[in-house]
Amino acid sequence: MAQHTLGDTAVLLGRSLRHIARSPDTIITTAVTPIAMMLLFVYVFGGAIDTGSESYVTYLLPGILLVTIASGIAYTAYRLFLDMQGGIFERFQSMPIARSSVLWAHVLTSLVANMISIVVVVLVALLMGFRSGAGVLAWLAVAGILVVFTLALTWIAVIAGLSAKSVDGASAFSYPLIFLPFISSAFVPTDTMPGPVRAFADNQPVTSIVDATRNLFAQQPVGTDIWVALAWCVGILVVAYAFAMSAYRRTVS
């Protein structure tokens, strides 16, 4: 059964990736917004923000990577909604394939597309002066955090794609997720914020993910941040997956 599901997922993943290859503008569009934000913050606001000894682009990049992911997952909800409206799901249900493979194909497509967008953003950051002496293990740890974070948000996107009543509704859910890094340590240290705002910023998932990523890039001890970050990501992933599969069963029943 597991082998059957993996085979079906691989076939449907190939279908989704071909769609991405035919319209690479989705990846370009996903990368444009965070790159524009990075340019704005570094070259317009960066001189007024004190982050210590490191360059502002180095300080900023972890948060920009999360904004990139939050922007990219909107396309997952959008593509899923179009498949629902186009009757693709009903067609797949009439075929002898594993039901969960349809959703997993969309999720893995999101993962691949977002990782490509992240690579593009990192390359632009390097041109802007981002530097890191982190070793291979640190980069792998950063990649692992970003992969789990992408999967967690993508399953939230699946819920939106299955539940939305319109195309706009399918992608609008991502706006609060894009805004969340602004109330975190992504752009400025949280100790510069007013008390209530700082309390929220210090105890929301983005701050722990950003701090862990930033310390890995800077070859600094990550402390408990990495475990808190992973706990947030895995917790969101498990809950979102459960709700997504429940919504899927209701939709196809």
The per-residue pLDDT for range 6-60, each reduced to its tens digit, is: 655 666 666 666 666 666 666 677 778 888 888 988 888 776 776 666 788 899 9
Q: What is the mean pLDDT of the chain?
A: 82
Distance CA 58, CA 13 (A): 34
pLDDT digits (tens, 9 = 90+) for 123-154: 999 999 898 888 899 999 999 999 999 999 99
Task: For residues 159-172, give the mean pLDDT.
Answer: 78
How many domains does the structure of the chain reveal?
1
pTM for the model stands at 0.86
Q: Which two tokens stand for residue 95?
A: 């075929």
Query: What domain range is 11 assigned to?
Result: 2-252
Residues 53-91: pLDDT tens digits?
678 889 999 999 999 998 888 888 887 777 777 666 556
In this prediction, residue 232 carries a pLDDT of: 93
pLDDT tens for each residue of 178-213: 888 899 988 888 888 898 999 999 999 999 999 999
